[in-house]
Chains A and B, each alone.
Chain A
Amino acid sequence: MNLRRFVQREKKDADLAEEIESHLAHEQDANAARGLSSEEAHRQAHLKFGNPRATRERIWRYRSVPWLEAAWRDLRFALRSLAKTPGFTAIAILVIAVGIGVNIAVFSVVNTVLLKPLTYPDPQSLVELMNTGPQGSFPGANVPKFNIWHQQTNIFQQVAGYDWGGAGLNLTGNDNPQQVQGIHVTADYFAMFGAPVIAGRTFTAAEDSPNGGHVVVLSYGLWKTRFGSNSNIVGRTIQIDGQPYLVVGVIGRGFVTEPAGDLWLPYQFDLASRDLAHYFRVTARLKPGITLQQANAQLRLAGDQFRRTYSSDALAPQDGFGIASLQESIIGDTRSSLLVLLGAVFFVLLIACANVANLLLARASARKRELATRAALGAGRGQIIRQLLIESLTLSLTGGFLGLVLGFVGVRLLLNISPGDIPRLGENGSAVTLDLNILLFTVGVSVLTGILFGLVPAISASRPNLAATLNESSSRSSIGFRGGKLRSFLVVSEMALALILVIGAALLIRTFLKLQAVDPGFDTHNVLTMAMSISGDRFQKTAGVAQVIRDGTERLKAVPGVTNAAAACCLPLQGGFGVPFDIVGRPKGNDSSTGGGGYYSVSWSYFDTFKIPLLRGRTFNEHDDGASPGVIIINEAMAKQYWPKADPLKDRLRTGVNMGPVFVEPPRQIIGIVGDTHDGGLNRDPRPTMYFPVSQMPDAETALNSRVAPLWWVVRSNVDPHTLVAPLSAALRETSGGLPVAHIRTMDEILVRTTSRQRFNMLLLTIFGGSGLLMAAIGVYGLMAYSVQRRTQELGVRMALGAQASSIRNMVLRQGMALALIGVVIGIGGAIWLTRFLASFLFGVKAWDPTAFVVTPLLLSAVALVAIWIPARRATRVDPMTALRLE
């Protein structure tokens, strides 16, 4: 092995020296035996042997690897020369570490969310079934669609339906009922995802059919925490919502679902169902060799099949089916937001590189004589460039590994402020781990930055004018024309990049402020919300649900501090279901008569509790139940859109049109108009919304609601609602016969959560923009300070000739600000081009928002002015006599 020879060569050389000594001694012995004097014997022996040093060198050379030897020598030299300037080295490493650290922090999230494949076997062949239409495609399924998709056996190996675990289930049967996420799945689910079964089995086809019995499969987490990893759990029954369920299996630890679930139940579809409401999602595994295009083509035909099998009304002519990669579907719109952040940190890194390159240029010009001496002694340009590159690589790799540490601290901070709706991060970001991708990224970025900031200074330093440099006295060497231009260019780039970042940050800050100013449409203060899972048999009929709500409301109101209480299927700001409607009496099938809107089933005190204003008519009362005529309340947005001139209170609505038999009901009279709430988030305009009295729903609809969503309890108090959590949940548990509540949050907290994504983006971009700005300021300060120092003599001469201090100061300011302003102008141009990528993150501001584009450059110029002011003042303090004596 070359390398072994290489590393052992010092030891071997010592050995060889001894061997040669031994050889000479033997020869000397032989000579002495021939009768030569000891001096002559010594001389003859050496003569005969030749030069021992030459021998040793020959063997040394043979043992060495030339490039490695040179690199090793350069590295040691680099370390020595960096150690000689600890201040420079520390600053450079720190700047690189910060630049690389933020990149690693963001990249490790990008890596986890976007790059790592799903943890299922052969994840590329997993696809999500989508509904396509002119407005885009979205997931969601009902039994008729599932049937048709399931029949496409020439493209799909397996097709499985499963829900989001939205409603929740109650584990009962001991003193400590617990609300858990139960995912309903069809029989193929486990096989399709390759779920590892560690005990028992998964569902059979027979168990996944109506009347298939009560069976359950447990997740590893639930098995461990609730059942103490009991190895005999399979075959036992557990209580879910008061019913016995047979445990048939346990799934292993590594099985990750999105969102996470605690247990699985068979869906037990009635395949003859014609319900058209979407309440679950469907994933399929493509057959080997089937491409997305082929599958999509086949699914277009499946749309016609669906219309033939069910009815042509069940699927609008322009709508159809399609698929999307499951990974893409899970990632969703997180991608664009992460990519914007990645772009922003890349800018930070570029600024850091420009900064370090500037430091290196300054250092190189201070080392001009050293480099010229080396060149004069015969070092080639390549050798000098190599030497300087190894120095910069030493800096960047050290900074990179320090950045890895910073990045890992940073990513934890980042996950702490993350909005919680980024998929695939695991519990508390546990899925974000150090892996090969991140190590490769670190090394790659470090080497790249090392070359990026090292190459230009190295090349410019390797062209010394030998005679001139060596003749110059070290203090007089002026900043070279080339070097000066290069440094100015770097500073201009830094300013431009920083400006782009800060404009981006300013746009997001403005967005966030605008969002904060949006009126949610109700009073969010002192409102507590609690979710109760009502999946049990008692809640399959409207009367049962209405009874629990009536009793619960009374009990809640009796708790001291409570001023009002209500229950509903869904909360404002969180969004809910949608439902189509026809306005009775208008010609069918056009935009003025038919539409879709938000669907809320609410108890009568809902509007009072939330303080949603009643604009016209009346709200619900306790008598709006199954025995009285159907009524409905609409919001202002709906009234304005569909009754621009007419009076909605005179009209009736037929809802749930074409959604299957569950939703068939007589038309409802519009009895009131209430104020708008922002359901899709504060950044969306209120959409038309319909409120149904929860006590007046058809039984089948109530059963569906109970299955897919929890019941939300809402309490308004005149004290801090957090203090009421214990008595309120106790009251609800009592009236509901022992059901627990979960997801206990105040409406203020929900409000904060709705803007958390914007807050997250804003915070990060502000941090990145701030650090970019700081680095750019340091860069411009460094350049001007350096040029003032180099021009001490010139300034001295000027002052000796009578220049005023103020004119000297203004000259330096003018030169510095010229650079800053060029940077600002370029930055504005870049920002106009780049902020378009931010457009989808903005609310209430344009991507070319004049405020951001005026205030930010002013801010940046002000910072630059401060940074230049310091060296400018120093310039005025040059003492002409001292400066001239330097001559």
Chain B
Amino acid sequence: MEPKRPPAAGDILQGTLDMLILRTLVIGPAHGHTIAEVIERTSENSLDVEQGSLYPALHRLEDRGMLSSEWGISENNRKAKFYRLTAKGRKELAAATSRWRQMTRAIGLILGEPIK
């Protein structure tokens, strides 16, 4: 089992990618290519990563039980592996989102931005 621990600061980017994946799947099941495109689009291409680096994150999330996967037929009529958010994943997304909000608020305070 993976040790359960709160994510350290160094994991932030890793955690961000995980959160983005989870967030993407809230709408419904999707395969890897769709997830990559959605993240690219919604982040306005600011997260410029190779699409390949998406897959280790997907597999790790699946191993932790946040995602489930099954093979299916895509909109292009191709075979593709679809990922679906599990109950555990939903809970983790909520927790990660609130952690993220706290963090950005803290960073905002340090950088002297006005409190909303």
Q: Chain A: residues with CB nearer than 8 A to chain B?
A: 1-2, 5, 12, 15-16, 18-20, 22-23, 25-27, 29-30, 48-52, 54-55, 58-59, 62
B76 within 8 A of A: yes
Known: A1-B1, A22-B81. 8 other contacts (CB 8 A): A20-B55, A22-B31, A23-B31, A23-B33, A25-B76, A48-B51, A49-B50, A59-B56
The answer to whether A58 touches B33 (Cβ under 8 A) is: no
Task: Say which residue of A1, A19, A48 sits within 8 Å of B81 (CB atoms).
Answer: A19
Task: Say which residue of A30, A52, A62 sits within 8 Å of B52 (CB atoms).
Answer: A52
B53 within 8 A of A: yes
Question: Which of A1, A51, A59 has most B Cβ within 10 Å?
Answer: A59
Enumerate B45-84 residues with CB–CB distance to A below 8 Å.
Answer: 50-53, 55-56, 59-60, 63, 74, 76, 78-81
The list of the 3 closest CB pairs from A to B, nearest first, reads A50-B50, A50-B52, A26-B33
Q: Chain B: residues with CB nearer than 8 A to chain A?
A: 1, 31-34, 36-37, 50-53, 55-56, 59-60, 63, 74, 76, 78-81
Task: Say which residue of A12, A23, A51 sits within 8 Å of B36 (CB atoms).
Answer: A23
Q: How far apart are the CA atoms of A2 and B80 in the complex, in Å?
A: 26
The answer to whether A22 touches B52 (Cβ under 8 A) is: no
The answer to whether B78 touches A26 (Cβ under 8 A) is: yes
Q: Distance in Å from the Cβ of B30 to the closest Cβ of chain A?
A: 11
Q: How far apart are the CA atoms of A25 and B81 in the complex, in Å?
A: 13
Q: Distance in Å from the Cβ of B68 to the closest Cβ of chain A?
A: 14
Q: Distance in Å from the Cβ of B66 to the closest Cβ of chain A?
A: 15
23 A–B contact pairs at CB < 8 A? Answer: A12-B59, A18-B81, A19-B80, A20-B55, A22-B31, A22-B32, A22-B33, A22-B79, A23-B31, A23-B32, A23-B80, A25-B78, A27-B33, A29-B76, A29-B78, A49-B52, A51-B52, A55-B52, A55-B53, A55-B55, A55-B56, A58-B56, A59-B55
Q: Distance in Å from the Cβ of B116 to the closest Cβ of chain A?
A: 37
Q: Distance in Å from the Cβ of A352 to the closest Cβ of chain B?
A: 43
Q: How far apart are the CA atoms of A12 and B63 in the complex, in Å?
A: 11
Q: How far apart are the CA atoms of A18 and B72 in the complex, in Å?
A: 13
**A16 and B55 in contact, given A22-B80, A49-B50 (Cβ under 8 angstroms):** yes
Q: How far apart are the CA atoms of A27 and B52 in the complex, in Å?
A: 12
Q: How far apart are the CA atoms of A49 and B50 in the complex, in Å?
A: 5
Chain B residues with Cβ below 8 Å from A2 are 1
The answer to whether A59 touches B59 (Cβ under 8 A) is: yes
**A26 and B74 in contact, given A19-B32, A59-B59 (Cβ under 8 angstroms):** yes
Chain A residues with Cβ below 8 Å from B52 are 20, 49-52, 54-55
Q: How far apart are the CA atoms of A30 and B76 in the complex, in Å?
A: 10
The answer to whether B31 touches A62 (Cβ under 8 A) is: no
The answer to whether B63 touches A5 (Cβ under 8 A) is: yes
Chain B residues with Cβ below 8 Å from A5 are 63
Which B-chain residue is minimally distant from A16 (CB atoms)?
Answer: B55
Q: Distance in Å from the Cβ of A643 to the closest Cβ of chain B?
A: 89
The answer to whether A50 touches B33 (Cβ under 8 A) is: no
The answer to whether B55 touches A19 (Cβ under 8 A) is: yes
Q: How far apart are the CA atoms of A815 and B3 in the complex, in Å?
A: 63
Q: How far apart are the CA atoms of A92 and B1 in the complex, in Å?
A: 41
Which B-chain residue is minimally distant from A1 (CB atoms)?
Answer: B1
Which A-chain residue is minimally distant from B36 (CB atoms)?
Answer: A23
Chain A residues with Cβ below 8 Å from B33 are 22-23, 26-27
Which A-chain residue is minimally distant from B35 (CB atoms)?
Answer: A23
**A62 and B78 in contact, given A19-B32, A22-B32, A48-B51 (Cβ under 8 angstroms):** no
Chain A residues with Cβ below 8 Å from B74 are 22, 26
Q: How far apart are the CA atoms of A304 and B72 in the complex, in Å?
A: 94
Which B-chain residue is minimally distant from A29 (CB atoms)?
Answer: B76
Q: How far apart are the CA atoms of A48 and B50 in the complex, in Å?
A: 6
Q: How far apart are the CA atoms of A5 and B79 in the complex, in Å?
A: 24
Q: How far apart are the CA atoms of A16 and B50 in the complex, in Å?
A: 16
Q: Distance in Å from the Cβ of B11 to the closest Cβ of chain A?
A: 15
Which A-chain residue is minimally distant from B50 (CB atoms)?
Answer: A50
Which B-chain residue is minimally distant from A19 (CB atoms)?
Answer: B81
Chain A residues with Cβ below 8 Å from B51 are 23, 27, 48-50
The answer to whether B60 touches A62 (Cβ under 8 A) is: yes
Which A-chain residue is minimally distant from B1 (CB atoms)?
Answer: A1
Q: How far apart are the CA atoms of A22 and B74 in the complex, in Å?
A: 10
Q: How far apart are the CA atoms of A50 and B59 in the complex, in Å?
A: 17
Which B-chain residue is minimally distant from A15 (CB atoms)?
Answer: B81
Q: How far apart are the CA atoms of A785 and B8 in the complex, in Å?
A: 65
Chain A residues with Cβ below 8 Å from B55 are 16, 19-20, 55, 59
Q: How far apart are the CA atoms of A51 and B53 in the complex, in Å?
A: 9
Q: How far apart are the CA atoms of A59 and B63 in the complex, in Å?
A: 11
Q: Distance in Å from the Cβ of A129 to the closest Cβ of chain B?
A: 57
Q: Distance in Å from the Cβ of A114 to the closest Cβ of chain B?
A: 43
Chain B residues with Cβ below 8 Å from A18 are 79, 81
Q: How far apart are the CA atoms of A15 and B62 in the complex, in Å?
A: 14
Which A-chain residue is minimally distant from B63 (CB atoms)?
Answer: A5
Q: Distance in Å from the Cβ of A169 to the closest Cβ of chain B?
A: 66
Task: Say which residue of A19, A29, A62 sits within 8 Å of B56 (CB atoms).
Answer: A62
Question: Which of A19, A20, A29, A62 has most B Cβ within 10 Å?
Answer: A19
Which B-chain residue is minimally distant from A22 (CB atoms)?
Answer: B80
Which B-chain residue is minimally distant from A58 (CB atoms)?
Answer: B56
Q: Distance in Å from the Cβ of B85 to the closest Cβ of chain A?
A: 18
Chain B residues with Cβ below 8 Å from A59 are 55-56, 59
Chain B residues with Cβ below 8 Å from A27 are 33, 51
Chain B residues with Cβ below 8 Å from A16 are 55, 59
Q: Distance in Å from the Cβ of B83 to the closest Cβ of chain A?
A: 10
Q: Distance in Å from the Cβ of A65 to the closest Cβ of chain B?
A: 13
Q: Distance in Å from the Cβ of B25 to the closest Cβ of chain A?
A: 16
**A26 and B76 in contact, given A19-B32, A49-B51, A50-B51 (Cβ under 8 angstroms):** yes
Q: How far apart are the CA atoms of A51 and B74 in the complex, in Å?
A: 23
Chain B residues with Cβ below 8 Å from A25 are 76, 78
Chain B residues with Cβ below 8 Å from A48 are 50-51
Q: How far apart are the CA atoms of A12 and B55 in the complex, in Å?
A: 12
Q: Distance in Å from the Cβ of A56 to the closest Cβ of chain B?
A: 8
Q: How far apart are the CA atoms of A50 and B74 in the complex, in Å?
A: 22
Q: How far apart are the CA atoms of A857 and B80 in the complex, in Å?
A: 80
Q: How far apart are the CA atoms of A22 and B55 in the complex, in Å?
A: 12
Task: Say which residue of B60, B63, B80 sits within 8 Å of A26 (CB atoms).
Answer: B80
Chain A residues with Cβ below 8 Å from B59 are 12, 16, 59, 62
Q: Distance in Å from the Cβ of B80 to the closest Cβ of chain A?
A: 5
Q: How far apart are the CA atoms of A12 and B51 in the complex, in Å?
A: 19
Chain B residues with Cβ below 8 Å from A58 are 56
Q: How far apart are the CA atoms of A48 and B56 in the complex, in Å?
A: 16
Q: How far apart are the CA atoms of A12 and B58 in the complex, in Å?
A: 13
Q: How far apart are the CA atoms of A875 and B50 in the complex, in Å?
A: 70
Q: Distance in Å from the Cβ of B2 to the closest Cβ of chain A?
A: 9
Q: How far apart are the CA atoms of A30 and B31 in the complex, in Å?
A: 14
Q: How far apart are the CA atoms of A26 and B37 in the complex, in Å?
A: 11
Q: How far apart are the CA atoms of A18 and B50 in the complex, in Å?
A: 18
Q: Distance in Å from the Cβ of A43 to the closest Cβ of chain B?
A: 14
Q: How far apart are the CA atoms of A20 and B1 in the complex, in Å?
A: 27
Chain A residues with Cβ below 8 Å from B37 are 30
Chain A residues with Cβ below 8 Å from B50 are 48-50
Which A-chain residue is minimally distant from B76 (CB atoms)?
Answer: A29
Q: Distance in Å from the Cβ of B76 to the closest Cβ of chain A?
A: 5
Q: Distance in Å from the Cβ of A351 to the closest Cβ of chain B?
A: 48
Q: How far apart are the CA atoms of A364 and B36 in the complex, in Å?
A: 54
Q: Distance in Å from the Cβ of B38 to the closest Cβ of chain A?
A: 13
Chain B residues with Cβ below 8 Å from A15 are 81
Q: How far apart are the CA atoms of A52 and B52 in the complex, in Å?
A: 7
Q: How far apart are the CA atoms of A782 and B91 in the complex, in Å?
A: 70
Question: Which of A1, A2, A22, A48 has most B Cβ within 10 Å?
Answer: A22
